[in-house]
Amino acid sequence: MADRGTEVRLPPIDNDPNRCERAFVGNTIGQANAVSDKTLDLRKCQYDNVSVKGITLSGALMVDSVFDNSDFSETVMSKVYATKASFKNVNFTNAVIDRATFDGSDMTGANFQNAVLTGVSYEGANLTGANFEEALIGDQDVKLLCLNPTVVDESRMQIGCKN
């Protein structure tokens, strides 16, 4: 994740014509450290109602991508950079999301039920109607989520917001 106020410089978008299809394969080399033989570049890819269930997407670049109505259940997302992406109504049930950045993303109606969320940034993300029931959320993540103005009503109770 980038420090606030620091411009993030990303490499040029991969010119492989099949780069968006790599989401369905993921990457498995050095999963925990997001080390792979090639960057998983999913920037500006357009998906709707697809399944990446159980796939490892560590180190993925997902800026400006659309994954609306998709199944990310049991997916491992470590060191993912997904700013300004769309994850409307995405099923993240039982996913492990660690050290990910979803700043400015639309996560309206996302389902994080029973997911593990640690070191995740949602600054400026729209989390209206998101479900966090039984999610395991790190203490610092709870504090930051509770500051998001789109986290209201049932979502606030599920996260454990104090007010």
What would the pLDDT profile of 66-86 be if each residue is shown by its tens digit? 999 999 999 999 999 999 999
Task: Give domain status of residue 12, yes or no.
Answer: no
Determine the pLDDT at residue 20. Answer: 87
Residue with the larger pLDDT of the pair 1 and 153: 153
Cβ–Cβ under 8 Å, residues 41 and 14: yes
Which CATH number goes with the domain that contains 60? 2.160.20.80
Any idea of the CA torsion for 147, 152, 156, 157, to the nearest 10 degrees? 160
Question: Could you read off the pLDDT of 9-68 as tens digits, one per residue?
Answer: 888 888 888 888 888 877 754 444 444 456 789 999 999 999 999 999 988 999 999 999
Determine the pLDDT at residue 160. Answer: 95
Quote the number of domains for the chain: 1
Task: Give domain status of residue 23, yes or no.
Answer: yes
- pTM (2 d.p.): 0.87
Task: Give domain status of residue 118, yes or no.
Answer: yes
Determine the pLDDT at residue 86. Answer: 98
Task: Give domain status of residue 52, yes or no.
Answer: yes
Domain that holds residue 26: 18-163
